Amino acid sequence: MSRNKYNSIRETFSSEPFYADTLSVKATPPADLVLLNTDMATPFLFPATSGNLTALGQFNPNDQPRILEVGLFCNMADGLVYIDNPDDSTHGPAFALSLIQYDGGGVPIGGALDQFRFKVPELNQMFPVDYLCTGVQSRAVTASYLRLNVAASSTSMTFATISIDPAFAAKRIIFKPVMLIEHTFPMAL
């Protein structure tokens, strides 16, 4: 967590993995690895750098998170070769981020306040996006907290695994989203 001259908070957020399973479930090298959006979970984002893990990504209802950078990290990225067309938003690592409001019992209040889609051109790197979640201005004041959900928005991601040793087929492959977010208030408890 860092503060700048405007007293906003910049934190790196991550989540549980989108996908975490033995590589051989989807591909045994040198076969191509194809992940469908139905293979990937829809985890909440939570602060990876904050010491207050009890908040688990609960933004103050008066906050307006600004997404500064996004990335997708994978433990086997060095051996994966991206096959999908980089200009096609229906394939490859493309994701939707939704800002949802919740009541005190953890029940969503209505639909997404704001949605933002982004595509990650390479694994294990952060890319600037600078997106301000503006939908919070229309939210109900009864919200106890706001939370960001992230989900795959492409139909599939395809990677060549020819550079991965076949002995790694029994190892877990993990894909995990990471974001740098600027916000005003400390995470809600």
Residue 12 lies in a domain: no
Please work out, in degrees rounded to the nearest 5, the angle formed at the alpha carbon of residue 90 by the alpha carbons of 43 and 122.
70
Residue 15 lies in a domain: no
Residue 10 lies in a domain: no
Looking at the structure of the chain, the number of domains it has is: 1
Residue 67 lies in a domain: yes
Residue 8 lies in a domain: no
pLDDT at 8 over 70: yes
Residues 151/102, Cβ–Cβ less than 8 Å: no
Residue 9 lies in a domain: no
Average pLDDT, the chain: 85
> What tens digit of pLDDT does each residue of 26-76 get?
999 999 999 998 898 877 787 765 555 555 778 888 888 899 999 999 999
- Phi, psi of 24, deg, nearest 5: -65, -15
Predicted TM-score (pTM) of the model is 0.86
The CATH number given to whatever domain includes residue 138 is: 2.60.40
> What tens digit of pLDDT does each residue of 133-172 get?
876 665 555 668 888 888 888 889 999 999 999 999 999 9
- Host domain of residue 162: 40-175
Q: Give 23's strand partners.
A: none
> What tens digit of pLDDT does each residue of 169-178 get?
999 999 999 9
Q: How many helices (H) and strands (E) does the chain have?
A: 0, 13
According to the model, what pLDDT value does residue 87 have?
76
- In whole angstroms, give the CA distance from residue 185 to residue 60: 6
Residue 4 lies in a domain: no
Quote the tokens at residue 8.
């906003």
